[in-house]
Amino acid sequence: MIDLHSHSLFSDGVLLPSELIRRAEVKGYRYWAITDHADVSNLDLIVPRIVSAAREVNAHWNIKVIPGIELTHVPPETIAVLARRAKELGARLIVVHGETIAEPVPPGTNLAAIEAGVHILAHPGLITPEEAEFAARKKVLLEITSRKGHSLTNGHVARLAQSAGAVMVLNSDTHGPGDIVSLERRARIVEGAGLDKEALPLMDEAATGLFHQLLATL
């Protein structure tokens, strides 16, 4: 199993990176990413610490970890600059906190994230058909999520992604131990989004391909 969206206590999660990763490994995950929330105020504080945690775990445990970041509630005009800065600091996976209907995300965030060519647009809410088509062209993965609140638009995202030919990824947006999703639960979330049983293997294949591409740059 693979998950490319989680949070440690370096943002609003509750676990140290090492405990978060260990709990994921025990649940059966082979690949994991830590993508703590960041804006201009804390980017340089968080990224190096996640990089250090990932490097240590990768040297000693079977589970493999990618250090990332989730740019969150930032002015859309700053997304491209912050994404470049995060990469300079060592983040390998760039996620943007999309326009979920559960939070007051600035309008234009989805479009700016896709224009910047980030890796994953998380919980993109009521993404438009034009944005979904743009994401397909830019190879930005659209997230189907198990996170309460954010998951309310999974069906909408799945429908538009399929129509546009955009690649989807299933993530947990884990903040605590209870958020790490089992294989059975993952299958139910995909089913609940209106997707068939073949969708989950395709999502995991896309996510794993991205993971190995980014792992090679560590």
Q: How far apart are CA 87 and CA 146, in angstroms?
A: 27
Q: What is the pLDDT of residue 179?
A: 98
20-55 confidence digits (pLDDT tens): 999 999 999 999 999 999 999 999 999 999 999 999
pLDDT above 90: residue 72: yes
Overall domain count for the chain: 1
Q: Is 69 helix (H, G, I), strand (E, B) or coil?
A: strand
* pTM exceeds cut of 0.85: yes
Cβ pair 50, 8 in contact under 8 A: yes
Query: Minimal CA–CA distance to 50: which of 68, 37, 31, 32?
Result: 68
Q: What is the pLDDT of residue 150?
A: 98
- Banded model confidence at residue 218, pLDDT cuts 50, 70, 90: confident
Query: Is the torsion defined by CA of 126, 131, 132, 138 positive or negative?
Result: negative
Domain span including residue 202: 2-215
The CATH number given to whatever domain includes residue 155 is 3.20.20.140
As a whole number, mean pLDDT of residues 111-136 equals 98
Q: What is the pLDDT of residue 170?
A: 98
The per-residue pLDDT of the chain, averaged, comes to 97
Q: What is the pLDDT of residue 197?
A: 87
- Which residues lie below 8 Å from residue 177, measured CB to CB, with a gap of 6+? 14, 15, 23
How many of the other CB atoms lie within 10 Å of CB of 44?
13
